[in-house]
Structure 1
Amino acid sequence: MNNELENGETLPKYCDYFKLQLVEELALEKDYRELHYGKVAVIGRFSSEPEVICLENVLIERMPKEYRLSTGALSVLLLDFDYDKVYGEPLTHGHLCIVRGEVILCNLEKPTSPRLSTRFIHENLRKLNESQQKEYLQDIHKTYKPAINVWHAKRIELASELIQRKLELRMLDSNQ
């Protein structure tokens, strides 16, 4: 399928490598048209409650105070998680880990509803007029939330430091 539309707008291209994303980047995205589309690697704290399995953000100590969020302030759902997908040491509630998978949007009100992607949203929007687009985006935002369709996970140590280093590398890469 062509990534360019008639009006010159391009559809998001699937990210075919595990791009580092922060829990915060997924959980706080207000415009789902801008949500990452494709594979991700996300570092966080594993949380397994009886009904919900999620990945929580981790406090990054060296981040400026105005940008810091305490550990567990935000989370994203982990879908299709299975303990057989964990490499190495077992993963239990509260452990720090890296999760690799794919970013999707999950309907929290109707979990059996189809999962959506950023590209799906773009494709649907092009069929609507401007007022319908606004309503569509509002409806999606009310009922759908970003989640990670888990492919595998691994327990790690020093998550905050690892995130810090990866952010520094990202910053260096963006300056080139």
Structure 2
Amino acid sequence: MRIVSGEFRGRPLKAVPGTATRPTTDKVKEAIFNMIGPYFTGGRSLDLYAGSGGLSIEGVSRGIDEAVLVDRQYAAIKTIQANIDLTKATERFKVIKSSAQAAIQRLKGQPPFDVLYFDPPYAKQTITADLEALVAAQLVASGALIVAETDQEANLPEQFGQFKLLKRRDYGITVVTIYQFMG
């Protein structure tokens, strides 16, 4: 795993030890950013299931101003910190050890996010519930892009609430779905 493009391009990323976390492959990461960017002129991102932190670090490398990364596993938090340290831009990242639901409550009152990454464990698909909670907490900016990485079984809806499907692509067992918040 590495940072594919941008300011931190080519730097290697550590994976979370063990089998509890499934890292996004470089091929899928590059495809995601080609669909939503590939580069940004600022903004804030949120990853509620950050794992190694690869998606958020890639986003900051490509121009996102600030990334908030959430994971509840201690091993993931240690890996995220190590990967952020490689960027030498630690002030652009905020790491929270918490469940997704508790983090949403904790983030209430902060400015909304422009890009939101969702790559929860495949067995625990809570993307629609998480998005509803984020909207209720006013943490989703108008026009925000939502990146959902799931398996073939997830069957995310074409549209729900104020989220409109922009793109859906299959990469083997991985499905990447991009929504835009129309609120």
For normalisation by structure 1, the TM-score amounts to 0.25
When Rg is computed on C-alpha atoms for both structures, the one with the higher figure is 1
Q: Which has the higher contact order (CA 8 A, sep 6+)?
A: 1
For normalisation by structure 2, the TM-score amounts to 0.25
